[in-house]
Amino acid sequence: MNDILNLTIRQLREMLKKKEISSMELTNYYLGRIRKYDGEILSYLRTTEDHALKMAGQADERISRGEDAPLLGIPLGMKDILCTKGIETTCASNILKGFVPPYDATVIKRLKEAGFVHLGKLNMDEFAMGSSTENSAFQTTKNPWDTTRIPGGSSGGSAAAVASGLCAGALGTDTGGSIRQPASLCGVVGIKPTYGRVSRYGLVAFASSLDQIGTFTRSISDCATMLGVIAGHDPMDSTSITAPVEDYHSFLGKDIKGLKIGIPAEYIIEGMEPDVKRNFEESLQVFKDQGAELVDVTLPHTQYAVATYYIIGTAEASSNLARYDGVKYGLRERGKDIIDMYKKTRFKGFGKEVKRRIILGTYVLSSGYYDAYYRKAGKVRTLIRQDFDNAFRLCDMIATPVSPSTAFKAGERLEDPLTMYLSDIFTIPVNLAGLPGISIPGGFDSQGLPIGLQIIGKPLDEGRILQAAYVFESEKKVRVIPDKYRS
């Protein structure tokens, strides 16, 4: 059964079709692994065992009737920021403890139509605000490669569960790097699609102009499978793109001869760990050996990206989180009047980092400061997008590191939010520009910790970045599950 961890979703689907394994057996296999290993990793906030077994039974019935669907019978995990009908959704926050959505997010609906089995809800930084999963109100997820270290964030539970083989794949969200950074630190594949490519309906909002749902997998093939299911227009999301979804699998296996890959000088920064720099240079050589052409590009406004993000992101967060007032849903604390109830509810319900961002966001939107901060940040965002437009005139895609460092020790940066924020320095510009970006396993540092490689594409060019990622994966053959979790 342990060969299952090395099989792609497509290979598992073939086994299910041929009745070599049932979805019930596959689901029990993963539930058994969760029971065995998740006490140490702490990637799941809650498993939905009864629900999963019921879905597996339904999948087996559909298979016996000769039905086919891309994820029929495949067990997956979901970040706890996606609304799941009848299943508690907390965003890892006390303020939403006990909240059971009456509907499914569009991505969950699409996964159900494709036949997936829902194993449970995965841990995260509260309201997706963080880079280490230490901001969860309930538990701190560990990195499977070294359990004294963080798995990245905010989708740390999703990345750790996929890396330790506790699900076949998972969904996460990426507002400033929350899929790509944990994918890099946990050594798995994580894609943030073009803004609007995947519906945000039913995603609990953090920063609406930046949030995007994406996937965590152990292979590029699985990434293509899952992205193909969740992508596409949704009339329930006003920002949803109407362009048809490409067959992402059709890009896999094509060579990259003559492909121009841009290398921005601004992403080789002071303070980057030497192993990360060395690995990035080795990774570029792989592309070169396969016939790609490396070209120098410039993204001159990169230095302003983090500041711009923390104005726009916090402003949108303060607006979106105003709805948690103790009246409509979630936590309610008693007060002597309604204002006192609001104060007590929000004080007790929100964690330190969420409060910090609400305060920052309220400040930059306040009278007298709006033009100085929020309006100016919007203008700089346009300049960052123009940098990418100009760079893409010279190249087909851009390659960069994902993070300037590998996974740091738990607790190391908790009291230093600025250093924590800078861990997303290479991922944030992609969100500001609304572009697709993927993190793929690039190798390991001298301590055996994973290092990711980021490929950034033009808008709606997910197929092309998967093409390059697949060539890299085929050549580099990086191990994606620690030996400890292979048994």
Question: In whole angstroms, what is the distance from residue 312 CA to residue 170 CA?
Answer: 28
Write down all domains in the chain, each with its CATH number in brackets.
Answer: 2-261+393-485 (3.90.1300.10), 303-379 (no CATH)
Confidence (pLDDT) at 3 = 86
418 falls in which pLDDT band (50, 70, 90)? confident
Query: Tokens representing 113?
Result: 């139509």
* Mean pLDDT lowest among 372-381, 383-392, 414-423: 414-423
For the stretch 170-222, pLDDT in tens is 999 999 999 999 999 999 999 999 999 999 999 999 999 999 999 999 999 99
Query: In the structure encoding, which two tokens stand for residue 344, read together?
Result: 């007590």
Provide, rounded to the nearest whole percent, the portion of the chain with pLDDT above 70.
100
Rounded to the nearest integer, the mean pLDDT of the chain is 96
pLDDT at 359 (0 to 100): 96
Please name the residues in contact with 121: beta carbons below 8 A apart, sequence gap of 6 or more: 44, 45, 46, 48, 77, 78, 79, 80, 84, 87, 88, 89, 90
In this predicted structure, the answer to whether residue 422 has a pLDDT above a threshold of 90 is no
- Residue 54: what pLDDT? 98
**Is the pLDDT score of 131 beyond 90?**
yes
pLDDT of 370 strictly over 70: yes
Give every CB contact of residue 387 below 8 A, 6+ residues apart in sequence.
298, 299, 300, 301, 302, 429, 433
Work out the average pLDDT over 116-128.
98
* Residue 360: pLDDT over 70: yes
Contact (CB, 8 A) for 140 and 411: no
pLDDT tops 70 at residue 104: yes
What pLDDT does residue 112 have?
A: 98
User: Mean pLDDT lowest for which of 82-86, 270-274, 347-351?
Assistant: 270-274
Enumerate the active-site residues.
79, 154, 178
Q: How would residue 1 be classed by pLDDT, with cut points 50, 70 and 90?
A: low
pLDDT band at 73 (very low <50, low <70, confident <90, very high): very high
- Bigger pLDDT: 116 vs 423: 116
Q: Residue holding tokens 């120098």?
A: 296
pLDDT, tens digit, 9 for 90 and up, residues 426-475: 999 999 999 999 999 999 999 999 999 999 999 999 999 999 999 999 99
Tens digit of pLDDT for each residue in 226-261?
999 999 999 999 999 999 999 999 999 999 999 999
| pLDDT of res. 368 | 87
Strand 450-457, strand 397-401: pairing: antiparallel
Question: Residue 44: what are its φ and ψ, rounded to 5°?
Answer: -95, 135
The pTM assigned to this predicted structure is: 0.97
Distance CA 87, CA 139 (A): 19
Q: List Cβ neighbours of 46 (8 Å cut-off, separation of 6 or more).
A: 87, 88, 120, 121
Does residue 377 carry a pLDDT above 70? yes
Find, among 480, 41, 428, the residue nearest to 221 by Cα: 480
